[in-house]
Amino acid sequence: MNMQYIEGGICAPKGFQAAGVHCGIRKNKTKKDLALIVSKVPASAAGVYTQNKVQGAPITVTKANLTAQNGYARAIICNSGNANTCNPNGIEIAQKTCALVGETLSLPAESVLVASTGVIGMELSLEPFQTGIPAVVNALSDSGSEDAAHAIMTTDTVKKETAVSFVLDGKTCHIGAIAKGSGMIHPNMATLLCFITTDVAIGPALLQQALKEAVDESLNQVSIDGDTSTNDMALVMANGMAENKEITEAGSAYSQFVQALTAVCVELAKKIAADGEGATKLLCCKVSGAPDVKTARVVAKSVISSSLFKAAMFGADANWGRILCAMGYADAEYDISKTSVALRSPAGRIEVCENAAALPFSEEKAALVLAEKEIHIEINLHQGAASASAWGCDLTYDYVKINGDYRS
Amino acid sequence: MNMQYIEGGICAPKGFQAAGVHCGIRKNKTKKDLALIVSKVPASAAGVYTQNKVQGAPITVTKANLTAQNGYARAIICNSGNANTCNPNGIEIAQKTCALVGETLSLPAESVLVASTGVIGMELSLEPFQTGIPAVVNALSDSGSEDAAHAIMTTDTVKKETAVSFVLDGKTCHIGAIAKGSGMIHPNMATLLCFITTDVAIGPALLQQALKEAVDESLNQVSIDGDTSTNDMALVMANGMAENKEITEAGSAYSQFVQALTAVCVELAKKIAADGEGATKLLCCKVSGAPDVKTARVVAKSVISSSLFKAAMFGADANWGRILCAMGYADAEYDISKTSVALRSPAGRIEVCENAAALPFSEEKAALVLAEKEIHIEINLHQGAASASAWGCDLTYDYVKINGDYRS
């Protein structure tokens, strides 16, 4: 597929505007804390949510609104600084937030989706929204993606934004996305939020399927610290303004769309992992030669989730025994005895293990390979043709510092 | 039950001798690296082992020997400094180690159980055993428990040893145990080893059942870093020299024995958690009001395994949202909405959450409570009568330091 990475983030697709402002939920006035994304026309919408039993009030309200509007939406509103989770009046606050956006834009409240990220169990007042929502609506623009990306950041050190263009039956289509992940100024959890816009024409049901396929291969393969947030959410809005023939079945156009959507999500997954709390290195683990994709995914994710392996990567220690150990406790059925492992970075590649046993290698070369900022762990199970990747980061002093600090 | 904690460790039960020496597997000559435990008469024996797909060669050989001797054994030999795992000739080395012990003590090789802990994938030579085994046999004594406890230590900062006495049908019985856990000088994993001796008369099958019951409630509820080692092993030998009426069924005597065995294992579980790599605090999480024990166990273990919660405890931050979050992603079915949470230490007790929502509390008092070395997390699910505990430690800079360092 012919696909290009382009500028513009969530405003790259036709008919989307965005903005980010400071509304007062966070004390630091230089930090934006309210983001808004609006489609000029009703958009098919879909979402995937945290599997945690504790679910933030915004998740409940977003699901209900999507259902009420039969899978269509016009806007996404998101605050940082407060997760609006474990609050007795959380649902009411989230509903009123949607209502305020709806009033200001002359839209039904139910056409607005809502997300929050921040401290759990801290009361959230409607007040900052009352002044903030008119302000963020006023700030809406075709170049507002960057401000929105900043407004959803917490302990993130860089904004996460990407966009692609590609052609479907002669029409240029776009997908844009912003995301946040990896912790909070008032640290509570590595909440992952991802908002995707596209001008592709596709109905809500197929959009939901496409989102799940893309997220399973990308955002769900990221781990910073093994803690599944109460507020994780990925939302997509597709407004059809690219004027491609509407995708109505899982054929060639659908496949191309999923491929582009997956590329966008993988790009964000890598950005999130690289900016994990305290991280100094991006870890990319690719498992190939697997009997099926599920096995490859589970094994890859187990490796990049291992605290011991993550600490070894921080120390640039080619301690491949920890890779085998993490593979061994992954919840998957396969024969581990044929495993080969190599470590690769811009500084070179070293094979460290074959048939699950040691290969001789130069510790000097290994230290050079592992001194780089992006480390690839290449695992071959030698028992099939399936493969999958997972992304993580090293475990550092700063992770402990960020999360050990007082909330205030 | 009338039970006393006593001195003597694994030599407290009648008919057991132990020793620990330096045999040369580790370079540091002041560090013992070979432990031996011997029963004067054949003992019922039982073991529980890691669930990791990668299993150290000693685990394979120990299982085979126990089977070959119909569940009886005479000795346990254990080295530190090398895990004898992912070595092409590992099985042969483990078998020859048992054979050497057997020859020296005039016992069948199959009556010797073997364990190893250390770096994975590093060649292990028979040479240190050839001189070390005669030396450790020569050192066997009735007061050798402490030396044996030292010889199995890796990055442990304190030895783990305990013993109890109790009365079964008029006979004084004993259980003693040593354990190691929480990492390695050449860090590879937090291997957990536990060797238990008792003079109680009980057959191999019931002993196996008793061991599983005790370990499920204790050692299996410990987590330092979520990494399941390739070499975890708990072994028990019961030689019957207390002359109680042999326990042949799951009646009152069996229950008392399990109770004592569990107490010993809980004691070691707490010692292991408190000495977790880099730990400054012991975390004890008790979940009560659960619909069943399994749910209570899974929830308690999820809380003490959360990196975010562990980091918060290091920072003395009463960030209870992380407790709810970890409860929410635990693999158990229950209603989280009734949850109450309190934090307790010698400095006091604070209730932080009721009906899964915030309670007002004094941050000053919370800081005092959490400044202590042993923190109790009291969770009540308010939906049943079952309870369980789990033990862990805080996540600190030193954990990263210990595991990020080079292997050499």
**Would you say B260 and B3 are in contact if contact means Cβ atoms under 8 Å apart?**
yes
Would an 8 Å CB–CB cutoff place A360 in contact with chain B? Answer: no
**Per-residue model confidence as pLDDT tens digits over A220-243:** 888 766 666 778 888 999 999 999
Give the mean model confidence (pLDDT) for residues A78-82. 94
Q: What is the pLDDT, as a whole number, of residue A184?
A: 35
Collect all residues of chain A within an 8 Å Cβ-Cβ radius of residue B324.
54, 86, 120-121, 230
| pLDDT tens by residue, A325-371 | 889 888 899 999 999 999 999 999 999 999 999 899 999 999 999 99
Q: Does this model's pTM top 0.90?
A: no
Assigned token pair, A119: 């401290």
CB contact burial B196-212 (16+ within 10 A = b; e otherwise): bbbbbbbbbebbbebbb
CB–CB of B317 and A406 under 8 A?
Answer: yes
User: What is the nearest CA distance from B408 to chain A, expressed in angstroms?
Assistant: 9
Same fold, B3-274 and B282-404: no
Q: Compute the distance between CA of residue A236 and CA of residue A76 in angstroms, rounded to an integer.
A: 10
Write down the residue that tokens 């005790």 correspond to. B214
Among B97, B155, B191, B339, the active-site one is B191
Tokens describing residue B164: 């109890």
Which of B86, B319, B403 lies nearest to residue A324, judging by beta carbons? B86
For B164, residues 6+ apart whose C-beta sits below 8 A from its C-beta are: B3, B4, B5, B6, B174, B175, B260, B263, B264
- Pick from A308, A317, A324: CB nearest B54: A324
CA–CA gap between residue B37 and residue B59 (Å, rounded)? 17
CB-closest option in B324, B328, B407 to A319: B407
Q: Kindly report the backbone phi and psi dihedral angles of residue B89, in degrees, each rounded to the nearest multiple of 5, phi listed first.
A: -105, 25
**CATH class of residue range A3-273:** alpha beta
- Residue B239, C-beta contacts closer than 8 angstroms, at least 6 positions apart: B13, B14, B15, B16, B39, B40, B41, B42, B43, B44, B197, B198, B199
Q: Does B84 touch chain A (CB under 8 A)?
A: no
Judged by CB atoms closer than 8 Å, whether chains meet at B399 and A399 is answered as: no
Give how far A194 is from chain B: nearest CA, Å: 20
Confidence category of residue A405, pLDDT binned at 50, 70, 90: low
Which 8-state DSSP code applies to residue A245?
P
| Residue B67 C-alpha, separation from nearest chain A C-alpha, in angstroms | 24
In whole angstroms, give the CA distance from residue A228 to residue A390. Answer: 16
Could you tell me the residue ranges of all domains in chain B? 3-274, 282-404
Cα A184 to the center of its chain, rounded Å: 15
Cα of first residue to Cα of last residue in chain B, in angstroms, is 49
Distance of residue A95 Cα from the nearest chain B Cα, in angstroms: 19
Least CA distance to A310: which residue of chain B?
B404
pLDDT at A248 over 80: yes
Question: B396 φ, ψ to 5°?
Answer: -125, 170
Q: Which residues pair with B282 in a beta bridge?
A: B374, B393
| N-to-C CA span, chain A | 49
**Region A282-404: CATH code:** 3.10.20.340
- Among chain A residues, the shortest Cα distance to B353 is held by A121
| pLDDT computed for residue A407 by the predictor | 46
Task: Tell me the chain A residues in contact with residue B51 when contact means C-beta distances shorter than 8 Å.
Answer: 329
Torsions phi, psi for A224 (to 5 deg): -100, -45
User: Measuring CA to CA, which residue among B39, B33, B19, B22 is closest to residue B139?
Assistant: B19
Residue A187 pLDDT > 70: no
A359 contact B CB<8A = no
Q: CB of A314 within 8 A of CB of A280?
A: yes
Q: How much is the pLDDT for B297?
A: 94
**Residue count (chain A):** 408
Q: Which of A196-210, A279-293, B173-187, B303-317 has the lowest mean pLDDT?
A: B173-187
Enumerate residues 55 to 74 of chain A having a beta carbon within 8 A of any beta carbon in chain B.
55
Confidence band (pLDDT; 50, 70, 90) for A279? confident
A325 contacts in chain B (CB < 8 Å): 52, 54, 120, 188-189, 227-230
- Among A325, A327, A329, whose Cβ lies nearest the Cβ of B51? A329
Kindly determine whether residue A189 and residue B321, on different chains, have CB atoms separated by under 8 Å.
yes
Spell out which residues of chain A touch residue B55, defining contact as CB-CB under 8 Å: 328
- The rounded distance, in Å, linking the Cα atoms of B400 and A396 is 6
Size of interface A-B (CB pairs under 8 A): 210
The answer to whether A187 touches B308, Cβ cutoff 8 Å, is yes
Q: What angle do CA B326, B327, B333 make, to 5 degrees?
A: 135
Q: Check pLDDT > 80 for residue A12.
A: yes
Question: Do B353 and A326 count as a contact with CB atoms less than 8 A apart?
Answer: no
| CATH code given to domain B3-274 | 3.60.70.12
CB contact under 8 A, B226 and A307: yes
**A225 contacts chain B (CB < 8 A):** yes
DSSP collapsed to 3 states, chain B? CCEEECCCHHHCCCCEEEEEECCCCCCCCCCCCEEEEEEEEEEEEEEEECCCCCCCHHHHHHHHHHHHCCCEEEEEEEEEEECCCCCCCHHHHHHHHHHHHHHHHCCCHHHEEEEEEEECCCCCCCHHHHHHHHHHHHCCECCCHHHHHHHCCCCCCCCEEEEEEEEECCEEEEEEEEEECCCCCCCCCCCCEEEEEECCCECHHHHHHHHHHHHHHCHHHECCCCCCCCCCEEEEEECCCCCCCCECCCCHHHHHHHHHHHHHHHHHHHHHHHCCCCCCCEEEEEEEEECCHHHHHHHHHHHHHCHHHHHHHHCCCCCCHHHHHHHHCCCCCCCHHHCEEEEEECCEEEEEEECCEECCCCHHHHHHHHCCCEEEEEEECCCCCEEEEEEEECCCHHHHHHHHCCCC
- Check B86 against A401: CB less than 8 A apart: no
Task: Say which residue the tokens 């708990």 belong to.
Answer: B234
Q: Please name the residue that has the structure tokens 């990747």.
A: A389
Along the 408 residues of chain B, how does pLDDT read in single tens digits? 789 999 999 999 999 999 999 999 999 999 999 999 999 999 999 999 887 888 899 999 999 999 999 999 999 999 999 999 888 899 999 999 999 999 999 999 999 999 999 888 888 999 999 999 999 999 999 999 999 999 999 878 889 999 999 999 899 999 999 988 864 333 333 468 889 999 999 999 999 999 999 999 988 888 766 666 778 888 999 999 999 999 999 999 999 999 999 999 999 888 888 887 788 999 999 999 999 999 999 999 999 988 889 988 998 888 898 899 889 888 899 999 999 999 999 999 999 999 999 899 999 999 999 999 999 999 999 999 999 999 998 888 887 777 776 443
Q: How far is CA B247 from CA A81, B242, B373, in A?
A: 61, 12, 40
d(CA B67, CA A283): 43
Which residues on chain B are in Cβ contact (under 8 Å) with A311? 399-400, 402-404
CA dihedral of residues B230, A313, B397, A181 (deg, nearest 10): -110
- Joined tokens for residue A356: 């699950």
Tell me the per-residue pLDDT of A94-151, one tens digit each, with 9 for 90 and over.
999 999 999 999 999 999 999 999 888 888 999 999 999 999 999 999 999 999 999 9
Give the pLDDT confidence of A15-72 residue by residue, as tens digits: 999 999 999 999 899 999 999 999 999 999 999 888 788 889 999 999 999 999 999 9
């069943």: which residue's tokens?
B292
The ipTM (two decimal places) reads 0.73
Q: Environment class of residue A171 by beta-carbon count within 10 Å: exposed (0-12), middle (13-18) or buried (19+)?
A: middle
Find residues 300-319 of chain B whose CB sits inside 8 Å of chain A: 305-308, 311-312, 314-317, 319
Are residues A405 and B317, on separate chains, in Cβ contact within 8 Å?
Answer: yes
Start-end of H helices in A275-396? 293-305, 307-314, 321-328, 363-370
* Strand bridging mode B34-49 / B16-21: antiparallel
B350 and B376 Cβ atoms separated by less than 8 Å: no
Pairing type for strands B233-238 and B193-198 reads: parallel
pLDDT on residue A287: 97
**pLDDT band at A197; cut points 50, 70, 90:** very high
Average pLDDT of A184-212?
79
Contacts of B357 in chain A (CB under 8 A): 86-88, 121
Interface test with A, best of B50, B54, B60, B231 (most A CBs within 10 A): B54
Q: Distance (Å, rounded) from C-alpha B37 to C-alpha B9?
A: 11
Query: For residue A186, what pLDDT is reported?
Result: 31
Closest alpha carbon to A218 in A162, A170, A173, A169: A162
pLDDT tens-place string over residues A54-65: 889 999 999 999
Q: In the prediction, which pLDDT does B370 show?
A: 95
Q: According to the model, what pLDDT value does residue B188 have?
A: 36
Task: State the nearest Cα–Cα gap between A184 and chain B, in angstroms.
Answer: 11
Out of A191, A197, A198, A295, the active site residue is: A191
Q: Please report how the helices A307-314 and A293-305 are oriented relative to each other, as an axis angle in degrees rounded to 10.
A: 60
**Residue B396 annotated as catalytic:** no
Beta-bridge mates of residue A5: A164
Binding-face residues of A in 109-128 toward B, CB within 8 A = 119-123
CA distance A322 to A213: 30
pLDDT at B307 (0 to 100): 83
Q: Do A336 and B190 lie within an 8 Å CB cutoff?
A: no
List the structure tokens of B16.
Answer: 């057991």
Residues A335 and A308 sit within 8 Å (Cβ to Cβ):
no
Which candidate from A312, A317, A404 shows the least CB-CB separation from B312? A404
The C-alpha atoms of residue B94 and residue B63 are separated, in whole angstroms, by: 12
CB B275 within 8 A of CB B156: yes
Length of chain B: 408
